Amino acid sequence: MAAADIGIIVSLCKRRGFIFPASEIYGGLGSTWDYGPLGVELKNNVKRAWWKAVVYDRDDIEGMDGAILMNRLVWKYSGHEATFSDPLVDCRECKGRFRADKTYELDCPRYKRKVAACSANLTEPRAFNLMFKTQVGPVEEDAALAYLRPETAQSMFVNFKNIVDSRWRKIPFGIAQIGKAFRNEIVPGNFTFRTREFEQMEIEFFCKPGTDADWHAHWIEERHNWYLRYGIRAENLRRYVQQPEELAHYARACTDLQYRFFPEREDEEKQWDELEGIANRTDYDLSVHSKGKHDKWQVHNEHSTQSLVYRDPVTNEKYFPYVIEPSAGADRATLAFLMDAYSEKPGPDGEPRVVLKLHPALAPIKVAVLPLARNKSELVEKAKAIKADLQRHGIRAVYDDTAAIGKLYARQDEIGTPFCVTVDYDTLGIGKTKDGAKEEDAPASPAGLLDTVTVRDRDTWEQVRVPIAGLRDFLADRLGTV
């Protein structure tokens, strides 16, 4: 099944508090987005699921959290100052600026045609560096130039030795990091797919030259399976092997995991775009950040104070480790999970209902506890006590009594809450009162229902009766752990 298109997700996100246009009351700021109450929970859950898979569930990865501002020399020797650019063309007529390699896709802002059709008005392409510049220090003239990092990777390379030494690490092992990155994209767009400020989830995995192809294959498999495990349907995820002419000069191979971000496009090939790249970066990174001459990379590093060469503690062999880099976008992953979870089905009134079938580990709220009536204090107190108990035991739960029960169910379906727990008259053992009937006239509660609640499943809408005493275990079993 094709995923929902991005337009539908943009509207759901705004309507239900996942993602809002940033600085909206001032007219916004091109392609910047704020994660709202549910968006922050969803994205945190995506990041937590990634961290669990790559740091906690393995024994060969260390985590870190590096500074966004780094010494400018990092970007000189990484090659970003010289080469981290996109080709830019200007239109002499409309004064628009476009990525030269995208003119066949982009609409001309003046005429009903693609930018490529304006070729007579376009300047020659020139390189436009994507790094945002800033200054470190209070006085502008004396301040040191710095960049907002365009990737998290470099702090893992420059901390390689710190982590080997402080954590007694031997090759093979990796470093993982989640953090913000900034790129002054010429053409941002498509919601959170391409923005100027975004978050990355990156691994730099260091291995012995010669073992790199196997580790590369391992990581492609691992990362592909991670997306499937958390709910992406196999038909919406594919591998794209980069051709030699597409590879960075230092890379030996790179496979992209592509997601069907644009299911509405007629041309199947154009429906896919990058979710994560998994590159074999060879020994480039640790070499170029090491002091001295590196003829292989035509780099002479006169500034680094260290050599990042690795010495095998058993054989004493010295080498620069190869790096396998699975590099994912937290925002793109969040968007893909949202798109893939989106579904509609007819509600009891025949009208289409949105059901967001997020994996329980990713769902912003796991359980909504609802009293059947908000004007009956015993129902309210019991429901609030159940909510507090679940939350105390680490199950993200909310209490809600702001609408009738059918409406509350529909709202929770739309935001992906896997379970609703309803506290009703049977829970209190006093049976059901008909509208307007006096409580003492209510029929007795059927035997065995005292201190039980209804648990409703988001995807099947099935309801089962569960004793409150066993509710936590019942839910925990079905929610699993993140």
Residues that bind ligand GAP (CB under 6 A): 151, 153, 183, 185, 194-195, 198, 200, 202, 274-277, 325, 327-329, 331-332
Q: Of 307, 283, 312, 310, which Cα lies nearest the Cα of 293? A: 307
Residue 83 CB, nearest distance to ligand GAP (Å)?
13
Q: Are 460 and 409 in contact (CB under 8 A)?
A: no
Closest contact distance (angstroms) between CB of 66 and ligand GAP is 13
Q: How far apart are CA 74 and CA 422, in angstroms?
A: 56
Choose among 235, 281, 232: nearest CA to 255.
281
Distance CA 90, CA 131 (A): 19
Measured from the CB atom, the residue of 48 and 353 that comes closer to ligand GAP is 48
Q: Nearest distance from residue 232's CB to ligand GAP, in Å?
A: 14
> In this complex, which beta carbon is closest to ligand GAP, that of residue 332 or of residue 359?
332
Residue placing its CB nearer to ligand GAP in the complex, 130 or 466: 130
The residue among 258 and 422 lying less far from ligand GAP, judged by its C-beta, is: 258
CB of 178 to ligand GAP, least distance (A): 11
User: Of 327 and 454, which CB lies nearer to ligand GAP in the complex structure?
Assistant: 327
Residue with Cβ nearer ligand GAP (9 or 122):
9
Q: Are residues 373 and 40 in contact, defined by beta-carbon separation less than 8 angstroms?
A: no
Q: Is the dihedral of CA 358, 363, 364, 367 positive or negative?
A: positive
Surface-to-core class of residue 481, CB atoms within 10 Å of its CB (0-12 exposed, 13-18 middle, 19+ buried): exposed
Distance CA 399, CA 384 (A): 6
State which residue, 43 or 183, has the beta carbon closest to ligand GAP.
183
Q: Whose Cβ is closer to ligand GAP: residue 197's or residue 424's?
A: 197
Nearest residue (CB) to ligand GAP, 160 versus 419: 160
Rounded to 5 degrees, φ, ψ at 137 are 120, 155
Measured distance CA(181)–CA(67) in Å, rounded:
11
Shortest distance in whole angstroms from residue 224 CB to ligand GAP: 14
User: How far apart are CB 195 and ligand GAP at their closest, in Å?
Assistant: 5
152, two tokens: 């998290």
Q: Which is nearer to ligand GAP, 321 or 329 (CB)?
A: 329
CB of 198 to ligand GAP, least distance (A): 4
* DSSP summary character for residue 251: -
Residue type, 148: L
Q: How far is the CB of 277 from ligand GAP (least distance, A)?
A: 4
Q: With residue 153 as reference, give the H or E element that holds it.
A: helix 153-158
State the Cα angle at 367 between 364 and 371, rounded to 5°. Answer: 130
Q: How many whole angstroms separate alpha carbon 466 and alpha carbon 293?
A: 70
- Please give the C-alpha separations between residue 312 and each of 188, 273, 301, 322, in angstroms, as whole numbers: 45, 40, 24, 14
CB of 392 to ligand GAP, least distance (A): 36
DSSP 448: T
To ligand GAP, the closest distance from the beta carbon of 154 in angstroms equals 8
Which residue is closest to ligand GAP by CB? 329
Task: Report the length, in residues, of the chain.
Answer: 482
DSSP-assigned letters across all residues of 12-68:
HHHHHTSEEETTGGGT--TT-EEE-HHHHHHHHHHHHHHHIIIIIS-SSEEEE---S
